[in-house]
Amino acid sequence: MSEMVAATVDIANNQKHDATADARLAAIVDSSFDAIISKDLTSIITSWNLAAERMFGYTAEEAVGQSILMLIPDHLKSEETEIISKVRGGHRVASYETTRRRKDGVLISVSLTVSPIKNANGEIVGASKIARDISAAKESERRIRLLMREVNHRVKNQFAVILSMVRETSKRSTDPLEFEELIRARIMALSRSHDLLVTSEWAGASLFDLIQEHLKPFGREEQILLSGPVLTLQSNAVQNLGMAFHELGTNSSKYGALGSEDGQVKITWTISSGAQESGAQDLGAKDFGTNSVAASGGRDFQLCWTETSTPRPDDKADESARKGFGTVVLQRVAPQSLGGSAQLERSPGRLSWRLNAPLASIIVPQAGVDADDDAAPGFGR
């Protein structure tokens, strides 16, 4: 009699233990961030946790009793046949990446792991599937690949620019120390433009930020005035306008407004309708790793750099010496690389550089261009 009582107690304890284990397992399944789905050997869904509802959009009431094929795109339905075949053989399907369809029809990238389910007799009666949404990771990988391709393109472009700088600067410099100083300054200018693009993941850069970045090394911020709409420049424009601003700033600090207390630099940019034919020929822009964009109909981008200062007695003597690499950048390289044209005018105490180019070659395609032509914030304020 006592043995029967003991056996009854053991059975009750085992049942209680099993019930506790089942409840714990159910709680783990319900609280999981991964979709946990069970199905029988005919691919009919038998259980569906809360994460599966969030991931695929079906409630448990909608999913249980339906075929798992409702989640599988048509071109991948053969996967299910292979999975069931492996499960019947008692094999676990190692984690692999694939695509599944949500209730709303959206395809998502998932990582799947499938394991056989056995009954109390050890017979395989179905499969347990764990799915993890990896769409964000896949998108991140895609962006990284695109960025690496862009970086590779830009690095090659920078090499071409540097080689051209070395060649053109060497033609106009006989002093090795002067040559070294000019090359270093120009490479640092390229680096400043590059930093702006890297910060934005090559999405472009603000025109105001570009001007500020290239003129900051020369100081005298209170003598620089900026005026124009807010624009986001595409990477080609960032590079070529950056080179132009560096050359203008360098020239101004040596001979013009940024080299005197009473000088003033005014930079204005506007957008106008009805672009005019530039007639520019691609004579040297290709040396700088850029593509010329033909000027045609549409809106124009117009920028004007005007600086004034007290004329120096040796201004006329300096005129010929100042027609160097900077002049090539301002009159040929920058405008032609942007599919436009430019005018550079010098006179005692005054320098003016005007650029006209198709707006499409200046701004990123998504950028708004209807901003008011209000003055941009003062450079040093």
Query: Would you state the pLDDT for residue 95?
Result: 87
Tell me the percentage of the chain whose pLDDT exceeds 70. 77
Mean pLDDT (the chain) is 78
Q: Rounded mean pLDDT of 261-284?
A: 66
Identity at 176, one-letter amino acid code? P
Split at pLDDT 50, 70, 90, the class of 320 is very low
Residue 96 has pLDDT above 80, yes or no: yes
Residue 307 has pLDDT above 60, yes or no: yes
Query: Would you state the pLDDT for residue 1?
Result: 53
Identity at 300, one-letter amino acid code? D
Split at pLDDT 50, 70, 90, the class of 366 is low
Burial of 369 (0-12, 13-18, 19+ CB in 10 A): middle
Dist CA 358 CA 240 (whole Å): 14
What angle is formed at CA 76 by the lines to CA 71 and CA 82, rounded to 5 degrees? 100
For 18-71, the DSSP string reads: HHHHHHHHHHHHHH-SSEEEEEETT-BEEEE-HHHHHHH---HHHHTTSBGGGG
> Which tokens belong to 323?
């027609």
Highest mean pLDDT among 14-28, 160-174, 273-287, 306-320: 160-174
Give residue-wise pLDDT tens across range 8-54. Answer: 445 545 555 445 544 554 545 555 788 999 999 999 999 999 999 99
Give residue-wise pLDDT tens across range 171-226. Answer: 767 778 877 777 788 888 888 888 888 787 677 888 888 998 888 888 888 888 99
Backbone angles phi, psi at 259, to 5 degrees: -110, 5
Split at pLDDT 50, 70, 90, the class of 296 is very low
Cβ atoms of residues 71 and 101 within 8 Å: yes
The pTM of the full predicted model, rounded to 2 decimals, is: 0.57
Instruction: Walk me through the domains of the chain, giving residue ranges and CATH numbers.
Output: 32-133 (3.30.450.20), 154-361 (3.30.565.10)
